[in-house]
């Protein structure tokens, strides 16, 4: 019987078990398609034996009462398998890769434990196959801070343009491609649209990876040649990444269906909500929000990775996610808070003569604080028209950053030559990437364990 973590266990113990963020890597499997996101290693948790029996598949849409009869989230996922299986050499290859890397499975499922209940619940609401909940395993190893070389971001790996197509807001203050609620909703909406387009989940998955236009062209090419148009018949026309995409998902699906068959253990993930959403209509500093919730900053960021700056700009659609018990603490502590919730305001640069040093003096801070808050590299000067974060002074105390400012703010800068003059210019547009996102520290992961040990250092993927 699997042991469960008592709710009374200290957060510090959980931090020690799971932080820092783990490495997404294919180790020495250089013959496999590279994974685009590289993460830092995570100590290996000692997992209990997984004893849940394999269940026969049910229709994807489960009655709510049936869903909650499952002992854990893995059982709900198995119950809703509905995509036809693929069985070929690529599937066998990827199953073998995962089966021989139990540390990788342990680290990835530890991260997934924060998010899986929500993803599975959303799939069931829509009547979609529940094995789609495993897709972030392939896309990002369940890291919402994942960023690919093609600038695809988040757990579901949206590129900027596709993210905007599905109303994922990307501005100077947040990137909803990383947000758990918004990105999951967008990904499932997109996948359903692709299924409606192709009438086949395997082709829908290929289109999610390769693009719907590319899949349509491949279908037309096979049709013209009198050939079948199913996934395996089109595979030779696909790039290697897409050709391996569905087999990778099938490999993970096979392992989740019966982990003991492959000598693996899966952690028990309670079939209960892990987090709840809290509305925030006024500005609040990220560190203050974490403090009020009695979480570390890394814990807070693990559930709220979409916020890019030190301040969370409030609004009608602004929500922060907190573990359920911490949400109660947040409300209680907020009711007793007597200080400013946010110590930041904005300032628009109107002249190139406004140096970072002069701004630091004006707003009673240091140049380094301004650079860090606005992701401005060293040896750079701000360009006129930039809107930057600055510490609040008496004139701005109590005021919030306006929605129009947040939506339209940009930070433009150019490098400074040794002679003090400007060199080539660089611009961070409101929807572009800034500096590298901090790692996710997966504290309070919802897995059962009785001990923890250090995992070996993983080589980053190319």
Residues 6+ apart with CB under 8 A from 421: none
435: alpha, beta or left, given left = phi > 0 and alpha = psi -120 to 50?
beta
pTM confidence score: 0.77
Residues 6+ apart with CB under 8 A from 362: none
Architecture of the domain made up of 11-271: Orthogonal Bundle (1.10)
Beta strands in 20-113 (DSSP E): 44-46
- Give pLDDT, residue 391: 95
How far is it, in rounded angstroms, from Cα 375 to Cα 173?
11
Overall fold of domain 344-428: Membrane-bound Lytic Murein Transglycosylase D; Chain A (3.10.350)
- Give pLDDT, residue 394: 78
pLDDT tens, N- to C-terminus, the chain (462 residues) = 444 444 333 334 333 333 433 333 333 333 333 333 333 333 333 333 333 333 334 444 444 545 555 689 999 999 999 999 999 999 999 999 999 999 999 999 999 999 999 999 999 999 999 999 999 999 999 999 999 999 999 999 999 999 999 999 999 999 999 999 999 999 999 999 999 999 999 999 999 999 999 999 999 999 999 999 999 999 999 999 999 999 999 999 999 999 999 999 999 999 999 999 999 999 999 999 999 999 999 999 999 999 999 999 999 899 999 999 999 999 999 999 999 999 999 999 998 778 999 999 999 999 999 999 999 999 889 999 999 999 998 766 778 999 889 989 998 888 875 555 544 443 433 333 333 333 333 334 444 333 333 333 333 333
Domain with CATH 3.10.350.10 in the chain: 344-428
Domain with CATH 1.10.530.10 in the chain: 11-271
- Give pLDDT, residue 104: 95
Q: Are 286 and 123 in contact (CB under 8 A)?
A: no
How far is it, in rounded angstroms, from Cα 215 to Cα 347?
47
- Give pLDDT, residue 449: 32
How far from the centroid of its chain's Cα atoms is residue 214's Cα?
26
139 catalytic? Reply is yes
What's the sign of the alpha-carbon dihedral 111, 69, 252, 153? Answer: negative
**Catalytic one of 139, 176, 299, 354:** 139
């Amino acid at each position: 019987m699997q042991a469960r973590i008592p709710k009374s266990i200290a957060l510090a113990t959980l931090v020690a078990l799971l932080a820092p963020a783990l490495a997404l890597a294919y180790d020495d499997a250089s013959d496999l398609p590279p994974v685009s996101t590289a993460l830092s290693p995570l100590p290996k948790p000692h997992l209990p034996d997984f004893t849940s029996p394999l269940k026969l598949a049910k229709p994807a849409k489960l009655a709510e009462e049936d869903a909650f009869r499952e002992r854990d989230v893995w059982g709900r996922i198995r119950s809703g398998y509905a995509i036809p299986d693929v069985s070929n050499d690529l599937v066998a290859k990827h199953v073998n890769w995962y089966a021989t890397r139990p540390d990788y499975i342990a680290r990835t499922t530890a991260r997934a434990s924060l998010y899986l209940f929500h993803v599975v619940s959303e799939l069931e609401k829509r009547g979609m196959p529940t094995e789609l909940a495993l897709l972030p395993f392939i896309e990002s190893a369940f890291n919402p801070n994942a960023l690919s070389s093609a600038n695809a971001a988040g757990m579901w790996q949206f590129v900027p343009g596709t993210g905007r197509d599905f109303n994922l807001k990307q501005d100077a203050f947040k990137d909803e491609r990383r947000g758990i609620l918004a990105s999951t909703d967008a990904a499932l909406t997109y996948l359903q649209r692709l299924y409606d387009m192709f009438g086949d989940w395997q082709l829908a998955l290929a289109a999610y990876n390769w693009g719907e236009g590319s899949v349509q062209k491949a279908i037309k090419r096979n049709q013209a040649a009198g050939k079948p148009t199913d996934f395996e018949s089109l595979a030779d026309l696909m790039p290697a990444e897409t050709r391996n995409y569905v087999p990778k998902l099938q490999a993970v699906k096979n392992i989740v269906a019966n982990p003991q068959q492959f000598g693996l253990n899966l952690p028990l993930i309670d079939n209960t909500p892990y987090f709840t959403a809290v509305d925030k209509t006024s500005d609040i500093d990220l560190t203050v929000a974490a403090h009020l919730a009695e979480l570390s900053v890394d814990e807070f960021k693990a559930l709220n990775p979409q916020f890019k700056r030190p301040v969370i700009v409030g609004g009608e659609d602004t929500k922060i996610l907190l573990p359920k018990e911490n949400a109660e603490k947040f409300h209680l502590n907020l009711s007793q808070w007597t200080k400013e919730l946010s110590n930041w305001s904005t300032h628009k640069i109107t002249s190139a003569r406004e140096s970072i040093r002069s701004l630091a003096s004006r707003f009673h801070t240091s140049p380094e604080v301004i650079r860090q808050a606005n992701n401005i590299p060293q040896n750079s000067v701000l360009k006129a028209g930039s809107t930057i974060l600055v510490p609040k002074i008496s004139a701005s105390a109590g005021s919030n950053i306006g929605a129009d400012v947040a939506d339209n703010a940009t930070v433009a800068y150019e490098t400074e030559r040794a002679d003090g003059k400007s060199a080539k210019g660089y611009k961070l547009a409101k929807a572009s990437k800034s500096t590298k996102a901090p790692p996710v520290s997966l504290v309070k992961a919802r897995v059962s364990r009785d001990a923890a040990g250090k995992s070996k250092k993983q080589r980053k993927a190319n």
